[in-house]
Amino acid sequence: MVAFYSKFIVNSISNITASGTISTTFVSLILLPIIRNATKYIIVVIVAYKDKISLVINIAIRSSIQIALLVLPFIIILS
């Protein structure tokens, strides 16, 4: 299943960037992470609706740590 979706996404990126209006770099660095996070947050809403708050808190903490580990080196370098 994952292989199917991965192949679909790669083919879609090739088709989108072939027209020349959007670069491959933009799709890879901006659009794919946004789509990935959107699906994660949809799952969080579904799990919260099923009243599994500990899992929701766990996902929120992990997302916060992931963002902090990404942003912190950039802040140090910029300062």
Which residue has better confidence, 61 or 15? 61
pLDDT tens, 6-47?
777 777 877 878 877 888 888 878 888 787 778 888 888 899
Residue 50 confidence class, pLDDT cut points 50, 70, 90: very high
Q: CA 19, 22, 24, 27 torsion: positive or negative?
A: negative
Exposure string of 58-67, with b = 16+ CB inside 10 Å and e = fewer, is: ebeeeeeeee
